[in-house]
Amino acid sequence: MGRGARRKFVGRPGCGRAFATAVAGGKTAGGNAATSRGNAEMTESTKYLLSEDRLPKAWYNLNADLPRSCPPPLHPGTGQPIGPDDLAPIFPMAVIAQEVTTERWIDIPEPVREVYRLWRPSPLIRARRLEKALGTPAKIYFKYEGVSPAGSHKPNTSVPQAFYNQQEGVKRLATETGAGQWGSSLAFAGSLFGLEVEVFMVKISYEQKPYRRALMETYGAKCIASPSPLTHAGRAILERDPNSNGSLGIAISEAVETAASRDDTKYALGSVLNHVCLHQTVIGEEA
């Protein structure tokens, strides 16, 4: 490199965009070939590993920006809108508050962020083959959530749910699982916050997916084939059909019954509800 030349680094470390050009007298050393090669390397980047400082400090609440409020869920017994008092037997108050709030930003507790750091931020990946298949000039990206300890996106909500329950003195969590992803995620989260976890797993999956069951048990959870003889709901199904393969609805009934019948136990759910959607916004906010 000649006198007065200097090396300049462009791009942000960790994002796959850093490249170097040698500048001498205001011109690129090596001519257009070096520049073209550097640009080609940038445009061909597929995976972007984001730094930990991209981890959000708050979840985004979609309810704040909806044009109108969503209709409240109805109580299955009365047909009336469900209120906080109806949810208190099975959910911690912090989760109930998140279910109904219209605040735009909800702070992520630092103990939850500490756990998130085990795998977050998740990789940002460009879907080049999808772009090509669609014939679109648009750049399409997705986040890969399989890097979590449970292998899915579901620890994004199981971790805060376990944290809020632990903070309110809950000792046990009951839940359901179909293929086993949610059960594995809650088992993982419960092990971090000292909670017992009881998982009612749809019987057909319990038998067909022994490794998911093994993962739950490795994290310390108790995994039960549903329908089971342990609950009124399970026994009623078994009386009608002793060979029932189970269903997610049956497993939910058993988990909710368990939570509602014990003072030391709450219920945790991995989909459907507002607070679950809230916790999953960490995926997009860090990108």
What is the residue-wise DSSP string for 12-69? -TTTT--EEEEEETTEETTHHHHHHHHHHHHHT--EE---GGGS-SEEE-GGGG-SSP
Predicted TM-score (pTM) of the model is 0.82
Cα within 13 Å of Cα(217), Cβ side: 10
Amino acid at 111: P
Per DSSP, the three-state class of 201 is strand
| DSSP category for residue 143 | E
Tokens of 66: 């909806």
CA distance 245 to 225: 9
For the 52-121+147-285 domain, the top CATH level (class) is alpha beta
Per DSSP, the three-state class of 7 is strand
Query: CA triplet 283, 141, 277: central angle to 5 degrees?
Result: 25
CA distance 93 to 165: 9
From first to last of its 287 residues, the chain has per-residue pLDDT tens of 444 444 433 333 333 333 233 333 343 334 454 444 444 444 578 999 999 999 999 999 999 999 998 888 888 889 999 888 899 999 999 999 999 999 999 999 999 999 999 999 999 999 999 999 999 999 999 999 999 999 999 999 999 999 999 999 999 999 999 999 999 999 999 999 999 999 999 999 999 999 999 999 999 999 999 999 999 999 999 999 999 999 999 999 999 999 999 999 999 999 999 999 999 999 999 98
Domain with CATH 3.40.50.1100 in the chain: 52-121+147-285
pLDDT per position as a tens digit, 168-183? 999 999 999 999 999 9
Using CA of residue 263, residue 268, residue 274, residue 280, what is the dihedral sign?
positive
